[in-house]
Amino acid sequence: MAQQVQVLYVDDLDGGAAEETVSFSLDGRSYEIDLNSGNAESLRKALAPFVESARKAPRRKSAAVSRPKTRSGDRERTAAIRAWAKQQGKPVNDRGRIPASIIAEYDAAH
């Protein structure tokens, strides 16, 4: 049996058929809105004076890609948690993420 799936985009402003998805960012947040061509043009016209006066910002690294820098205090804490967990006979690796349950047990004990 054949099946055909049809995806219909709805204009987020007026509920009619949308023809495109417009992406924009404001105050550090990214947004997408599905609009028909008229509403998309209205949005672009409304933003035009601001876009013309603005400068392009550098692209930010994705939070999933960037790694937070660890402080020496963080390293000392994780080393203490690993040592405590091993003394308690809990399974913990020498490297990598420490399970949240072990961290919670350590915090409760200290």
Same domain, 45 and 79: no
Range of the domain at 103: 72-109
pLDDT at residue 62 in the model? 60
Same domain, 18 and 48: yes
The answer to whether residue 90 sits within a structural domain is yes
Q: How many domains does the chain have?
A: 2
Same domain, 4 and 51: yes
Along the 110 residues of the chain, how does pLDDT read in single tens digits? 888 888 889 999 999 999 999 999 999 899 999 999 999 999 999 999 999 999 988 876 665 555 555 566 688 889 999 999 999 999 888 888 888 889 989 999 98
pLDDT at residue 28 in the model? 86
Distance from C-alpha of 40 to C-alpha of 22, rounded to nearest angstrom: 7
Same domain, 3 and 50: yes
Smallest CA-to-CA distance from 80 within 109, 56, 44 is with: 109
Same domain, 50 and 3: yes
